[in-house]
Amino acid sequence: MNLLFLPILFPLLSGALLIVLPKRARATLAVISAGLNLGANLLIFQRTSQGEVLVMQMANWPAPWGISLVADALTGILLALSGIIGLLTVLFSLSSLEQPLRWGQSAQLNQAREHLGFHALLQFLLMGVHMSFLTGDLFNLFVAFEVMLIASYGLILLGNESLQLRQGFKYVVINLVASAIFVTAAGLSYGLFGTLNMADMAQKIAQHGPDPRITLIALLLCLVFTAKSAVFPLGFWLPNSYPTPTSAASAFFAALLTKVGAYTLIRTLTLIFPTETSIRPIILTLTALTMLVGALGAIARHRWRYALAFANVASVGYLVMGAMLGTQDGYAATIYYLMNSVLVIFSLFLIAALAEQLAGEDYHAEGHLKFYPWLGVAFFISALALAGIPPTSGFIGKYALITALFQNPSFLNTAVAIAAVISGFLLLYASMKIWRNFFWGESDAVHQVKLAGGMTGITALSVLLVIALTLGSSYAYQNASLAARQISNNEAYIQSVLQKEP
Amino acid sequence: MELLLPALAALLVGTGVYLILARALIRVILGLSMIAYGANLVIFLSGGMARNDPPLLNLDGPFVDPLPQALILTAIVIGFGTTALLLVLSIRAYQATGTDEVQSLIERDNPETITSYADPEHPSVSPEVATGDDA
């Protein structure tokens, strides 16, 4: 089953080569590698979407002694998404890194970033993301997180100016503390179960019965993953650090890195700790606060990417909320909303990059609709999808989530549903604010400026993907339901991993 | 022994947390290293505590589990890389701001009012409109 290793192999090799190649070859290799990666990911998705669970034992060590790479339907969906986002990011960066910066920092910052190894770092980031989606071993998950985080440290710090240093330092410190907690939890779980293979741990926990030590390990792991996905009290590192790197990297971070945290949360709570139901109400309450804080922050900030970073926090709040419900419909709604969130946030960040080219970071610059109507259309569609207005995919996702909430109409669930709806309206207000201040109105100071063709093309493509998700909702929701069915009962996963002949 | 080593790990992590909240950048980095040491010690303890037993599997006599020691090696190497990165970062921060304090890394001026747009050739919006007001 060597197919499973390809999403890790391609970025690893190309990342290593990209450090040493000259500039022209760098661009070509990055695109080729991202394209091959997308192909491998789509192959895996196509096989897993038919219900198959793919397993590969690294170096042919049998489970549970070796490290397993596992791809079930949820992993397949996420790999497909990350393949698409990876390729689009690479293509977008080819033209966005040529643009001189027009505000705040030095004009040649983007060229410096490309020269200093942006493409290599992006490939390593992709490798870390793919490895954390595919792995079936807790310590390998830690290593994948570290690869991903160190690549993201590099991307944030690239360029070495004052803003990068300030935000980079805080980002690195908080993530190092979270990593230390993760490695402690991994060590404790090895001491308790004698194994780090997720399937084996799941089996041993099922046989062991309830034990406060198991709850402790589950809590530690949830602490790390909620910090990674920027849930309310632990998410304050995100809104200032995500707008710091170049716009292509910013879009990739917002689209995928928080979703890695949400995915690992789902995976550990459904596979390893399905009996730990006491954790769920705590995190559910926190996600209600996350959605509200994210939406309020999006209204408060008036620079493009800073407002969108808060909107990203709100969006991930919806995801984690759905994951905490514990019902199969809840998981299906979560996975569908995850697809929507990745594509919509990515498009919004790309639109923000284009808008920053036009008028700087602050979006208080009226009258752009007259000269850039298509940018206005793109923003309109993406903003509606973010806020959850019919008929976009955002609405379908939020409707499914709130329906899943009301399947069990307890006080907590009702309160969370109210918070979710209020947050949607607040996000709509934030989008209206941007629309009113940037696109609407008339101003004599605006006139036509030529935007880079590559950037515009990729932005258009990503908005078309959002529309495609809306039109293809039934296909997407079928896949989400299949994934939800698989993760609701962890027996199939455990058997596939432990019975696999190397 | 069973109480002493976990107490030591707790002491290390506590010291590390205290240091992270300090005013000087170098103390923050030292604090992070302490927390990493504490975490590594916890992994080490999970392999079973024994005296004079080697971590080799093929012996006749008693041995300790070698896997946690391999895990610690991985964690140490990762920690070493990130500590190196942080140290370079703090040197660069010292060069940029002239001081060793964490306060220098916090934005003093209100970042919301910085919007200078400056392409003298072809601005799409004139600078007065771009800087706008705080609405």
Distance of CA A50 to the CA centre of its chain: 24
Report the candidate in A3, A148, A125 with the shortest Cα–Cα distance to residue A70: A3
| A360–B115 CB contact, under 8 Å | yes
pLDDT, one tens digit per residue, over B13-32 is 999 999 999 989 999 999 99
| A183–B40 CB contact, under 8 Å | yes
Q: Residue B121 has what pLDDT?
A: 46
Q: Which residues of A touch B121 (CB under 8 A)?
A: none
Q: Which residues of B touch A176 (CB under 8 A)?
A: 32, 35-36, 82, 86
Bridge partners of A252, per DSSP, are none
Q: Which residue has the higher pLDDT, A499 or A429?
A: A429
Report the candidate in A440, A459, A441, A443 with the shortest Cα–Cα distance to residue A451: A459
Confidence of residue B107 (pLDDT cuts 50, 70, 90): low
pLDDT, one tens digit per residue, over A391-435 is 899 999 999 999 999 998 899 999 999 999 999 999 999 999 999
Confidence of residue A76 (pLDDT cuts 50, 70, 90): very high
Which tokens hold the place of A162? 């004052």
By the 10 Å C-beta count (0-12 exposed, 13-18 middle, 19+ buried), A7 is classed as buried
Q: Residue A110 has what pLDDT?
A: 79
Nearest to A190 among B36, B46, B86 (CB): B46
pLDDT, one tens digit per residue, over A146-173 is 999 999 999 998 877 777 888 888 899 9
Long-range contacts of A352-355 (CB under 8 A, 24+ apart): A352/A247, A352/A304, A352/A305, A352/A308, A353/A92, A353/A96, A353/A247, A353/A248, A353/A250, A353/A251, A353/A455, A353/A459, A354/A451, A354/A455, A354/A456, A354/A459, A355/A304, A355/A379, A355/A438
Confidence of residue B134 (pLDDT cuts 50, 70, 90): very low
Q: Residue A167 has what pLDDT?
A: 84
Q: Residue A10 has what pLDDT?
A: 94
| Average pLDDT score over residue span A6-15 | 94
Does A236 reach chain B within 8 Å, measured CB to CB? no
| Average pLDDT score over residue span A294-323 | 93
Q: Which residues of B touch A301 (CB under 8 A)?
A: 112
Q: Residue A302 has what pLDDT?
A: 83
Angle at B13 between CA B8 and CA B15, to 5 degrees: 95
| B74–A143 CB contact, under 8 Å | yes
Angle at A445 between CA A439 and CA A449, to 5 degrees: 75
Q: Which of B125, B126, B131, B134 to mutate to test the interface with A (most CBs of A within 10 A)?
A: B125
Confidence of residue B81 (pLDDT cuts 50, 70, 90): very high
| Average pLDDT score over residue span B75-89 | 92
Q: Residue A501 has what pLDDT?
A: 59
Q: Residue A497 has what pLDDT?
A: 86
Eight-state DSSP code of residue A389: -
The one-letter amino acid code at A143 reads: V
> What is the rounded CA–CA span in Å between residue A328 and residue A319?
14
Residues of A (172-191) whose Cβ lies below 8 Å from B: 172-173, 176-177, 179-181, 183-184, 186-188, 190-191
Confidence of residue B108 (pLDDT cuts 50, 70, 90): low
| B-chain residue closest to A154, CA distance | B85
> What is the rounded CA–CA span in Å between residue A136 and residue A197?
6
| A-chain residue closest to B68, CA distance | A187
Q: Which of A65, A184, A237 to mutate to test the interface with B (most CBs of B within 10 A)?
A: A184
Q: Which residues of A touch B128 (CB under 8 A)?
A: 445
Is the separation of the CB atoms in A416 and A339 below 8 Å?
no
By the 10 Å C-beta count (0-12 exposed, 13-18 middle, 19+ buried), B61 is classed as exposed
For residue A16, pLDDT over 90 is answered with yes
| B-chain residue closest to A303, CA distance | B112
Is the separation of the CB atoms in B39 and B25 below 8 Å?
no
Q: Is the dihedral of CA A35, A36, A37, A41 positive or negative?
A: positive
Q: Which residues of A touch B32 (CB under 8 A)?
A: 173, 176-177, 180
